[in-house]
Structure 1
Amino acid sequence: MGSTRPATSVTRSTQRGAMTAEPAWVCAGLPAISGRLREEQRDFVVVERLAYELDGEGTHSFLRVRKTGLSSFEAVRRLARALGRREREVGYAGLKDRHAVTEQWLSIEHLDQSKLSDLEIPGLELLEVTRHRNKLKMGHLRGNRFEIRVRGAAAGDGERAMAMLQRLAERGLPNAFGAQRFGHGGVTPRLGQALLTGEFPRFFQLWTAGEDALGEGPEALLARGPGERMLRDGLMRWRERGDAEWALRGVPKRFLSLCTAALQSEVFNEVLRRRLPELGELLPGDIAFLHRNGACFAVEDAAAEQARAASFEISPSGPQPGPACLRATGQAGEIEDAVLEQFAVSHELFDVRDPWGQKGGRRALRVSLPPESLAAKELDDGGERCVELAFELGRGSFATAVLAELLRDEALR
């Protein structure tokens, strides 16, 4: 970790043994920093920024909470149980990492706020309560502020980190989905693929113990002692009816959707890898992403549009496969088609009416890193040199993309 050696070797992709060139780095030529990440929960702090101001009126109670060591799903589950509400009644704008200290907003309509006075939930602290006129929904998010501590840093790493952050602000940050999107061992996209291909027993087998459990029935899978409640519930339903597809009815729809979304993200990340390091360079046939409003359009003349990309008005985009995803053509289309073939998926595969169906769309290959949000400083923590980083990202972008560049660690992206 933290080597300054340029990434020029050829590596084997983790998906189906495909050979791909290891990507270059936006910060190539600048020395990387060294150190260790996430040794303590407080080393990774995330503060959510909502997309709008709360007006203090309305039927929806908005709760700003600080969670430690909990996923957003688990925080919602615990809060709903403590208040005697259903999980689906709790609104949230985004999903936050489990292995962190995170502040985010949750909403509940028609809540008797007196129930909050003596609320005690392990891992969850209530910071603020107000009201608003609408339910909080996914996407009601401007972005997130990150404060990250890198332990075991070398002397001078604060200055080195700041130089790389400034480079990313100038050229754009690779908009890769973080490793947390893909679950432990990268199994979540495989769950999504099993859903889309109708391999429902395989879905439960992979979820329980990965490929080690392939071929096992519900009884054997339950004997493995799966820890997640919703997995145990699904396996018991499968055992009850002998029908793995019917058992999926007991699995939260949002989790099933998350599995196929992870497969979309895997495709996008591979397209991004193949376009590095020139993420601001338009190719013939590209679909451009307009940063001011998220609109996309087909690039007819890449040379003529390049000035708009240079000013960060637009950027090339990558696919999140599905029927609504605009299709690139020409050189850009060849890259995307090759990646779809690598992962054995098509846009049409996601076009199902089940809870795991996905419409698809486009995502910018790079995003801005606001210069005014950047900070990097060295400090002493218990006799150990650390670098404390601070930056802001828009919604849907991952801090691990920043850390990958600073530490030059391919495993982070």
Structure 2
Amino acid sequence: MVRPALAELDNLLEMRYYGLDSDGIGGRIRREIDDFIVQEISIDGIKATSLCTNLPKGSGEYTWVVVEKRGLDSVTAVQRIQRYLNVRKKDIGFAGLKDTSAVTFQFVSIKGVINEELIEEFNKSNTRIKIHCPFRRPFALRPGLLFGNEFTVRVREADGSNLKRLTEELKEVSYIPNYVGYQRFGSIRPITHIVGKNIVMGNFKEAVEELLLRIFPYESDIAKKAREYLASTGDYIGTLEIFPKSMKSERSVIAHLAKRPNDYVGALRSISSYIRKLYVGAYQAYLFNKVLSRRIEEDLSWMLPSPGDYVGIFPSTYHHEYTSVLVANEANIDKLRKLVLDGRALLLLPIFGYNTQLSQGKQGEIERIILKEEGIDVTRFYVKSIPEASSAGTYRPAGLKPLDLRIHEDGDDIIFSFALRKGMYATTLLREFIKPKDPVLQGF
């Protein structure tokens, strides 16, 4: 049996097992903002950087830029750029969300020609966001249009005595369980998946109450007091005056209910459509983690397919998308397993949505049992009252294999450098090495 996770948060988010059995190195990530650096990799292998020498000159109707942000979420950063450059929301695009507690570099596309003097003015007036390296391309960015990300992470206060053993173990197993990482749910307030489940189930009042009222130990005292005040008084107007301004979604919901009490659907729809989708997506991620953990409990591989499993086929090892999905059976199982070992295929598990076709074989049994335990069927992911939060479903690789992994010790610190395909979490890999006892206090 593989090594079970002991952290309460891991089990709460259904990240119940480790792929590497050896003891962890401990330590902490993100003590300083520069300890966690993320650089986006485009679909054609270009790495986002403030050094413009390796970027294409290009041509086309879209200006691409590299956006550097420090300790800020991607949506806020793009919104500030949009307003400053005075471009329409639909004319600015980006491929993925990047970590907030990090220094990140990602591509952003803007329709038309952007005045470089305006970029210089923007950079002078902003300390946490910088725009670098404008170049032209014939197409816009959209969510998911990237190969992946490169990470450089400094782990402080670590014990390197087990580092070699862990590294050798990773080489032996090749892949670790590809859990959806902590930040998808919120480490400090891990409730996004619970809000999402209530939305999917049509329990909109419960979704709002979970978002506004539930208190967790690591959140700020101001937030705790505001939630306690709202729970005891029901005074939305008074709560809005004391609720932290940084919590935009909660404030939108509170402001709506102050005007229209009991309109919980309207309150949820007052949140940006992007965030509404994130709630439902978090529940889908929770279900994925639960399916993966149950698969491990049933002694099925997170790397190699069994009959009835879905397998994604890549045209080449570094291609950014699988081009076909096959069902493993007794006739093709050996060929598919070889393709996985050669880096040309990946075992896929479903991200449940209203169009999901459940797997066959033992994996299909697991999926049906979990849906029954959750009291849900896949048709629920079409949300009639909030259709923009609906999801048709997709697939996600069951295993994670880092690309170009490099590890070295720097004094008392250990530095990890590696690349991951899109949608994979650096913290999922780092968790295997660190094995955090308290993920929040250790920077996860």
TM-score by length of 2: 0.80
Secondary structure of 2:131's aligned partner = strand
Match of 2:259 among 222, 235, 240: 240
Displacement after TM superposition at 1:115 (Å):
1.6
Conserved 8 A contact 1:325-1:361: yes
- 1:393 maps to 2:420: yes
Conserved 8 A contact 2:166-2:433: yes
Larger mean CA deviation between 73-82 and 212-221 belongs to 212-221
Instruction: Provide the rounded CA distance (Å) in 2 between the counterparts of 1:344 and 1:411.
Output: 31
Which residue is 2:303 aligned to? 280
Match of 1:26 among 19, 22, 27: 19
Match of 1:129 among 134, 142, 150: 134
Are the structure 2 counterparts of residues 218 and 299 from structure 1 closer, same or farther at C-alpha, using a change threshold of 3 Å? farther
Q: Residues 144-167 of structure 1: CA distance to partner in whole angstroms, max 9, x if unpaired?
A: 111011111225455345434534
Q: Residues 68-103 of structure 1: CA distance to partner in whole angstroms, max 9, x if unpaired?
A: 100111111222232234545421111001011111
**1:214-253 correspondence to structure 2 within 5 Å:** 216=234, 218-219=236-237, 221-222=239-240, 225-227=243-245, 228-242=247-261, 243-253=263-273
**1:165-180 correspondence to structure 2 within 5 Å:** 165-167=170-172, 171-180=174-183
Larger mean CA deviation between 140-149 and 6-15 belongs to 6-15
* Structure 2 stretches lacking a partner, 5+ long: 47-55, 216-226, 316-321
Which residue is 2:324 aligned to? 295
- 1:99 maps to 2:97: no
Displacement after TM superposition at 1:246 (Å):
2.5
Displacement after TM superposition at 1:116 (Å):
1.1
Instruction: Provide the rounded CA distance (Å) in 1 between the counterparts of 2:271 and 2:160.
Output: 49
Instruction: Provide the rounded CA distance (Å) in 1 between the counterparts of 2:104 and 2:399.
Output: 25
Are the structure 2 counterparts of residues 230 and 14 from structure 1 closer, same or farther at C-alpha, using a change threshold of 3 Å? closer
Are the structure 2 counterparts of residues 111 and 200 from structure 1 closer, same or farther at C-alpha, using a change threshold of 3 Å? farther
Secondary structure of 1:388's aligned partner = strand
Alignment-mate amino acid for residue 4 of structure 2: A
Conserved 8 A contact 1:158-1:377: no
- 1:192 maps to 2:210: no
Which residue is 1:350 aligned to? 381
Which residue is 1:38 aligned to? 30
Alignment-mate amino acid for residue 182 of structure 2: A
Instruction: Provide the rounded CA distance (Å) in 2 between the counterparts of 1:291 and 1:411.
Output: 37
**1:294-373 correspondence to structure 2 within 5 Å:** 294-301=323-330, 304=334, 305-352=336-383, 354-370=387-403, 373=404
Instruction: Provide the rounded CA distance (Å) in 1 between the counterparts of 2:307 and 2:438.
Output: 31
Are the structure 2 counterparts of residues 202 and 87 from structure 1 closer, same or farther at C-alpha, using a change threshold of 3 Å? farther
Alignment-mate amino acid for residue 390 of structure 2: G
Which residue is 2:275 aligned to? 255
* Structure 1 stretches lacking a partner, 5+ long: none
Displacement after TM superposition at 1:402 (Å):
0.8
Instruction: Provide the rounded CA distance (Å) in 1 between the counterparts of 2:274 and 2:5.
Output: 39
Which residue is 1:205 aligned to? 209
Conserved 8 A contact 1:189-1:260: yes
Q: Residues 302-353 of structure 1: CA distance to partner in whole angstroms, max 9, x if unpaired?
A: 8545444444443432121112222112311111122223333321110236
Secondary structure of 1:117's aligned partner = helix
Instruction: Provide the rounded CA distance (Å) in 1 between the counterparts of 2:57 and 2:365.
Output: 49
Are the structure 2 counterparts of residues 401 and 357 from structure 1 closer, same or farther at C-alpha, using a change threshold of 3 Å? same
Displacement after TM superposition at 1:105 (Å):
1.1
Secondary structure of 2:214's aligned partner = helix
Match of 1:145 among 140, 150, 153: 150
Instruction: Provide the rounded CA distance (Å) in 2 between the counterparts of 1:62 and 1:109.
Output: 9
Which residue is 2:59 aligned to? 57
Which residue is 1:408 aligned to? 435
Match of 2:86 among 70, 75, 84: 84
Displacement after TM superposition at 1:261 (Å):
0.8
Alignment-mate amino acid for residue 401 of structure 2: S
Alignment-mate amino acid for residue 200 of structure 2: L
Q: Residues 372-397 of structure 1: CA distance to partner in whole angstroms, max 9, x if unpaired?
A: x12111112xxxx0001111111111
Conserved 8 A contact 2:15-2:290: no
Instruction: Provide the rounded CA distance (Å) in 1 between the counterparts of 2:423 and 2:357.
Output: 19
TM-score by length of 1: 0.85
Instruction: Provide the rounded CA distance (Å) in 2 between the counterparts of 1:130 and 1:21.
Output: 41
Conserved 8 A contact 1:404-1:410: no
Are the structure 2 counterparts of residues 214 and 362 from structure 1 closer, same or farther at C-alpha, using a change threshold of 3 Å? farther
Instruction: Provide the rounded CA distance (Å) in 1 between the counterparts of 2:175 and 2:57.
Output: 34
Conserved 8 A contact 1:202-1:214: no
Instruction: Provide the rounded CA distance (Å) in 1 between the counterparts of 2:101 and 2:282.
Output: 19
Are the structure 2 counterparts of residues 214 and 332 from structure 1 closer, same or farther at C-alpha, using a change threshold of 3 Å? farther
Larger mean CA deviation between 61-70 and 157-166 belongs to 157-166
Instruction: Provide the rounded CA distance (Å) in 2 between the counterparts of 1:291 and 1:214.
Output: 51
Instruction: Provide the rounded CA distance (Å) in 1 between the counterparts of 2:6 and 2:132.
Output: 49
Conserved 8 A contact 2:93-2:141: yes
Which residue is 1:14 aligned to? 12
Q: Residues 344-374 of structure 1: CA distance to partner in whole angstroms, max 9, x if unpaired?
A: 332111023611000102212013322xx12
Alignment-mate amino acid for residue 394 of structure 1: R
Larger mean CA deviation between 260-269 and 81-90 belongs to 81-90
Instruction: Provide the rounded CA distance (Å) in 2 between the counterparts of 1:325 and 1:291.
Output: 21
Secondary structure of 1:64's aligned partner = strand
Alignment-mate amino acid for residue 148 of structure 2: G
Displacement after TM superposition at 1:265 (Å):
0.7
Instruction: Provide the rounded CA distance (Å) in 1 between the counterparts of 2:437 and 2:175.
Output: 18
Are the structure 2 counterparts of residues 174 and 291 from structure 1 closer, same or farther at C-alpha, using a change threshold of 3 Å? farther
Displacement after TM superposition at 1:214 (Å):
6.6
TM-align CA RMSD: 3.0
Are the structure 2 counterparts of residues 210 and 157 from structure 1 closer, same or farther at C-alpha, using a change threshold of 3 Å? same
